[in-house]
Amino acid sequence: MDIVIENLTKRYGVQKAVDNISLRVATGEILGFLGPNGAGKTTTMKIITNFITADEGEVYIGGRSLRDDPLEIKRHIGYLPENNPLYQEMPVIDYLEFCALINNIEKHRVAGRVAEMIRITGLNSEKHKKIAELSKGYRQRVGLAQAMIHDPEILILDEPTSGLDPNQIAEIRKLIRELGREKTVILSTHILPEVEATCDRIFIINKGRLVADGTAESLRKKAQGSDILRVRIEDGDIDQIFKALQSLKAVSMVDFADRQKNRFDVHCRSEEVKRDIFRLCVERNWVLTEITPFETRLEDIFRELTMN
């Protein structure tokens, strides 16, 4: 079931929390939804899940407008909010049974669905404990279980791995990838390596506006506009090497990566710059000991797009 957002806008007083956003997420796609705190991520998710309404724009779920049939559409959505509200005094198994019933799962199927969610989220050893007695990581697993209990076609997950240890994060990441084969998933997180490992596409907003939409690789190319080479040149004065590299035709910028080891980051616009660097070293009798592509990190791209 796909999601189509057209010109979505939400205001709080004079401030636009979401400003004219348009987006399409296809069935079987996992979208990483990124942005700094206050960018409008949670507001957008609440609009998609019909917890709040937009001031302008439309949301279509499976081709149907959210405005026209909100209750029916909500049955196809599983939502894990950022704050993960839970009934603290209920045992885990009772809470999941309750969630199954309020999601209109037939009584004869409730026990099976609860058992399946407990297995998938690794809650078996904790299932008879009260939710208040659980660690934050296990409470997060309970939240994931309730979001999936009715087997929805769409999953909206706001910080799903918050509070989990590295092993738990890897397990939930694997689970989300498996779910993404058949479901539409929107995943909000601040853990950028998790986005690259889990998501098919990345959507970044800042101050309520779209600033980037694409794969991690395509965003790297757009954000950088050039390649970066990590270069180490020995037996030469570091400042002379810096000036010589900067003077090469295809080089747009040179940074010091490590002054102690004569290591530089060379921003370049052409593959031929490798040959130019090699020739330069031969001419100056410098020893070239390293020349490797240096991949732009998603963290750097995120910072560049959201600092303004």
pLDDT in tens, 134-183: 988 889 889 989 999 999 999 999 888 877 778 878 877 888 888 778 88
- What pLDDT sits at residue 167? 80
Same domain (yes/no): 169, 234: no
* Buried b or exposed e, range 80-104, using 16+ CB within 10 angstroms: bbeebebeeebbbbbbbbbbbeebe
Return the sign of the alpha-carbon dihedral for residues 35, 40, 42, 46: negative
Same domain (yes/no): 14, 132: yes
Same domain (yes/no): 187, 244: no
Same domain (yes/no): 171, 28: yes
Task: Yes or no: say if 203 and 210 are a contact pair by the CB < 8 Å rule.
Answer: yes
189, 220, 251 — which closes off a domain? Answer: 220
Residues facing 21 on adjacent strands: 8
Same domain (yes/no): 59, 132: yes
Same domain (yes/no): 185, 46: yes
- What pLDDT sits at residue 226? 58
Same domain (yes/no): 243, 215: no
Same domain (yes/no): 266, 152: no
Same domain (yes/no): 192, 249: no
Indicate if the pLDDT at residue 72 is higher than 90: no
Task: Yes or no: say if 294 and 230 are a contact pair by the CB < 8 Å rule.
Answer: yes
- What pLDDT sits at residue 71? 84
- What pLDDT sits at residue 253? 84
Count CB-CB contacts under 10 A for residue 301.
21
- What pLDDT sits at residue 133? 95
- What pLDDT sits at residue 17? 93
Tell if the pTM clears 0.75, that is, is over it. Answer: no
Indicate if the pLDDT at residue 269 is higher than 80: no
- What pLDDT sits at residue 255? 87
84-116 residue pLDDT tens:
889 999 999 999 999 999 999 999 999 999 999
Same domain (yes/no): 196, 297: no
Query: Region 170-199: what's the mean pLDDT?
Result: 83
- What pLDDT sits at residue 221? 65
| Least confident residue range of 9-13, 89-93, 129-133, 247-251 | 247-251
Domain of residue 67, residue span:
3-220
Same domain (yes/no): 298, 163: no
Task: Yes or no: say if 40 and 82 are a contact pair by the CB < 8 Å rule.
Answer: no
Quote the number of domains for the chain.
2
220, 254, 270 — which closes off a domain? Answer: 220
165, 188, 220 — which closes off a domain? Answer: 220
